[in-house]
Amino acid sequence: MINLEIPKKFKPLATQANQVATEIFRPISRKYDDAEHTYPKELDMLASLMEGLEEGSDMGGAGAAGVRRDADGEAPEGNRNGSNLSTVLGIVELCWGDVGLLLSMPRQGLGNSAIASVAGEEQLERYGGKWAAMAITEPEAGSDSAAIRTTAKLDGDEYVLNGEKIFVTSGDRADLIVVWASLDPSKGRAAIKSFIVERDNPGLKLDRLEHKLGIRASDTANFTLQDCRVPKEALLGNPEIDTKQGFGGAMQTFDNTRPLVAAMAVGVARAALERTRDLLAEAGVEIDYAVPALNQPAAVSRFLEMEADWEAARLLTMQAAWMADNSKPNSLQASMAKAKAGRTCVDVTLGCVELCGAAGYGEDELLEKWARDSKILDIFEGTQQIQLLIVARQLLGKSSAELR
């Protein structure tokens, strides 16, 4: 039975997340955009509060918690609205508040997603409750994550990691860093594994924190790993180099996290649309949904165009999450959602600045900040171009060797 509304049972969660966004994120949004690299201490209490909320429900929480498929892999009976969808809805609300602050939420990092998605029981026990960042990108390997040069060599009961990692979100603040490294660079993708490194490991050296266009509340760290020793048990997933499975294992996390990043974009874009609607109304321009767009002021026409794109992005995001809840393969839809939401968010936030003129461009409003924050959402967790590649390969039935 087709129904694309927010399910009733998740409305309290969305309301709660919206309250957090309104009461906690928005008031400090400008402050931590200005004070880059200063830890938003207000988030500590919030994180505990939210974890408390999550424990008491099966809603999966409102943050970037991990996404786990049912272990038996069987599709549940009938239609299911579960933690993937609720997480997406929560993220939309929180990022309507401030995406930089959401990315700074303790214990809600992408590393936590990876751990929650692929860790074994022992690892879950050992690392649960800690804040985990994700370190994939290197100076010479961005989208081409199979080209990473960081190595992991087994030495007795330990792996020894060597290499350089950049763009590690929350890298300075987290307790753990999930590091991607190759067991054997000659064996390509299949040899790439992820390792959990404690932040205070003496082999992990913080090089610097980046100064950025947007999401300035979130710290972005660069590290050097120099003979960084981790216990054998720190390897996430299967230690064997299975060339048949290839890269699939490592990339699996992304199918689950792409809708979450898409949700971030949907939330930021909504913030800009809503504020612009209000400012236009103050200027005497109201949006009429019955009169054709071209018969209304140009500003309304542009607004409707952006809102229509946003609606498509939002529904694609919800669909991708819903498919995950129902154990349907959603790699195609997850990438579609990420591509559409990423580019729409940039277009919408920049368009809103234009519609609001100097009021939108100046720092009195948050519109200019959202227009800076938005750009990263079309880049991290797979750039626009990478998403288009994934979508194209799926639609055309091509391998990554054929369509490079």
Partner 1 sequence: MNENGNGTSVMERSQGVVLRSLGWLAGTELLDRVGLRKAVERVVFQGTKGGFRTATVAGRAFKATQKLGKPARQAAGKPRSLFDVTPDEEQQMFQEAVRDFAEAKVRPAAQAADAERETPAELLAQTSELGVNMLGIPEELGGVMTEQAATTSALVGEALAHGDMGIAYAALAPGAVATAIGRWGSAEQEATYLPAFAGEDAPAAALALLEPRPLFDPLSLETKARRDGSDWVLDGVKSLVARATECELFLVAADAEGVGPALFVVEPGGEGLSVRDEPAMGLRPAATGRLLLEGVRLPGEALLGEGRREDYVDCVQRARIAWSSLAVGAAQAVLDYVIPYVNERTAFGEPISNRQAVAFGVSDIGIESSGMRLAVYRAASRADQGKDFHREAALARKLCAAKGMEIGSEGVQLLGGHGFVKEHPVERWYRDLRAAGVMEGALLV
> Is 158 labeled as catalytic in the residue annotation?
no
**Of 348 and 391, CB closest to partner 1:** 391
Would you state the torsion angle of the CA atoms of residues 238, 239, 244, 249, taken in this order, to the nearest 10 degrees?
50
Measured from the CB atom, is 4 or 35 closer to partner 1? 4
Rg (CA), the chain: 21
- Tell me the C-alpha distance between 324 and 123, whole Å: 24
Could you tell me the smallest distance in angstroms from the CB atom of residue 83 to partner 1? 13
Establish if 254 lies at the interface with partner 1 (CB under 8 A).
Answer: no
The amino acid sitting at 178 is: V
Separation of alpha carbons 316 and 395, rounded Å:
16
Is residue 402 near partner 1 by the rule CB under 8 A?
yes
Binding mask 1-20 for partner 1 (x = CB under 8 A): xxxxxxxxx-----------
Classify burial at 84, counting beta carbons within 10 Å of its beta carbon; exposed 0-12, middle 13-18, buried 19 or more.
buried
Q: Are 244 and 187 in contact (CB under 8 A)?
A: no
Quote the least distance from Cβ 11 to partner 1, whole Å.
Answer: 10
**Cα 343 to Cα 266: distance, rounded to the nearest angstrom:** 10
Closer residue to partner 1 (CB): 223 or 310: 310
CB nearer to partner 1: give 206 or 395. Answer: 395
Q: Mark residues 357-386: x for contact with partner 1 by CB under 8 A, - for none.
A: ----------------------------x-
According to CB under 8 A, which residues from 301 to 360 bind partner 1? 304-305, 307-309, 311-313, 315-316, 318-319, 322, 333, 336, 339-340
Comparing CA positions, the residue from 226, 158, 148, 222 lying closest to residue 196 is: 158
| 292 contacts partner 1 (rule: CB under 8 A) | yes
Instruction: Select from 17, 21, 67, 85 the one that contacts partner 1 (CB under 8 A).
Output: 85
Q: Shortest distance, CB of residue 402 to partner 1, whole angstroms?
A: 6
Among 35, 154, 281, 395, the residue binding partner 1 under the rule CB under 8 A is 395
Q: What is the 3-state secondary structure (H, E, C) of 239-273?
A: CCCCCCCCCHHHHHHHHHHHHHHHHHHHHHHHHHH
The piece of 12-20, 216-224, 283-291, 361-369 that touches partner 1 (CB under 8 A) is 283-291
- d(CA 35, CA 175) in angstroms, rounded, equals 22
Select 230 or 339, whichever has its Cβ closest to partner 1. 339
Looking at the Cβ atoms of 84 and 150, the one nearer to partner 1 is: 84
Q: How far is CA 374 from CA 29, 209, 220, 341, 383, in A?
A: 14, 20, 16, 10, 13
325-352 burial code (b ≥16 CB/10 A, e <16): bbbeebbbbbbbbbbbbbbbbbbbbbbb
How many residues in the shown chain lie near partner 1 by CB under 8 A? 50
Q: Active-site residue among 54, 93, 368, 381?
A: 381
The DSSP string of 355-371 is HHHHHHHSTTSSHHHHH
* φ, ψ at 272 (rounded to 5°): -65, -40
If one asks whether residue 166 binds partner 1 (CB under 8 A), the answer comes out as: no
Tell me which residues are annotated as active site.
381
**Contact positions toward partner 1, by CB under 8 A?**
1-9, 79, 81, 85, 289-295, 304-305, 307-309, 311-313, 315-316, 318-319, 322, 333, 336, 339-340, 385, 387-389, 391-393, 395-398, 402-404
